[in-house]
Amino acid sequence: MEGLALILFYLTLIGTIASIGLIIYSAVKKKFKYKPKQLAIILGIFIVAFIGSTIFYGSVQSPESKAKFEASQKAKEEEKAQKELAEKEEKENEEKQKQEDQKVKENSKDTVETVQKEESPVVAEVPKADDRFIIKSEPNTSAAVDEIYYKAKEKAATATEDDLKEAIKFISNNYNNYWVDNETMHKTMYYGSLLECAKKDKAKENQKGIDYAIYSLGEDTVQVVKYVYRKVEKVEDSSTQSNLRQIKKSLDKISDDYKK
């Protein structure tokens, strides 16, 4: 049926174009055997048939065809994003080397003499920070991104359903606000990596179930933040916005029970 609908679509399209051409020709050649009114009627018939065939083709298009189309669109967007990042990656590596050189210089100058005081200062009790989001690496570098990823990967091995719900809830509640500050970006990358690692194997087995939706959500969440975090990409760049749209699609496929 899909093939028949496609044939009808092209036939009516050709008929419509041909009718328009004949109308123009008859207007120029006054002695043409077909009158413009007759050709206009024929054109009207082809236009109606063209609209009908378009609707018919849309109604019979198979789920597999739609799925292939969506997959090809996503592949094109990802390919475009990779091309845009090629030059930025090279600049980022140069910047990373400069930062490492600067760090070595700073460490060599940071020899500080400690002076012991007779009385220890009174320190106010501060709530313990969540070490899942604390990094030892230099902020805004590839090393920091990797450190967060490996923390999440280690946790993913024993992650519970509640851990996954916590991650999905955070991603949903903070949609389009992931880049507010480093702390928020650390959490976003951690939760995204946790979902990606926890569901990676099951997603390979079934690319249409909830496991694949959660895996895709995690993968796109990491991508939407890590390049902005490393300052090689901006929030308004096309690749960032593309990943943001993919996050919305994945969230729409996940039950609200995971977001409470």
- Domain end, chosen from 42, 63, 84, is at 63
Residues 145, 59: one domain? no
Alpha carbon 148 to chain centroid distance? 20
Structure tokens at 153: 């990967």
Instruction: Give the span between the Cα atoms of 255 and 260, in whole angstroms.
Output: 10
Indicate whether 244 belongs to any domain.
yes
**Nearest Cα to Cα of residue 196 among 237, 144, 250, 138:** 250
Query: How many other C-beta atoms lie within 10 A of the C-beta of residue 73?
Result: 10
Query: Does any domain span residue 103?
Result: no
Instruction: Tell which residue, 131, 121, 145, has the closest CA to residue 222.
Output: 145
In whole angstroms, give the CA distance from residue 150 to residue 170: 19
Domain boundary among 30, 63, 96: 63
Distance CA 141, CA 136 (A): 11
- The most distant pair of C-alpha atoms in the chain lies apart, rounded to whole Å, by 115
Within-domain flag for 29: yes
pLDDT in tens, the chain (260 residues): 666 666 777 787 787 787 777 777 777 766 656 666 776 787 788 788 778 777 776 776 656 655 665 677 787 888 888 888 888 888 888 888 888 878 777 776 665 555 455 555 555 555 567 889 999 999 999 999 999 999 999 999 999 999 999 999 999 999 999 999 999 999 999 999 999 999 999 998 888 889 999 999 999 999 999 999 999 999 999 999 999 999 999 999 999 988 87
**Total domains in the fold of the chain:** 2
* Domain-located, residue 86: no
Do 50 and 154 sit in the same domain of this protein?
no
Give the torsion through C-alpha atoms of 228, 233, 237, 243, to 10 deg: -50
The set of long-range contacts for 101-110, using a CB threshold of 8 Å and a minimum separation of 24, is 103/138
In this prediction, residue 104 carries a pLDDT of: 73
In a domain, 114, yes or no: no
In a domain, 207, yes or no: yes
Identify whether residues 141 and 251 lie together within a single domain: yes
CB contact set of 179 (below 8 Å; sequence gap of 6+): 185, 225, 228, 229, 235
**Residue 258: which domain range?**
134-260
Note the pLDDT of residue 17: 84
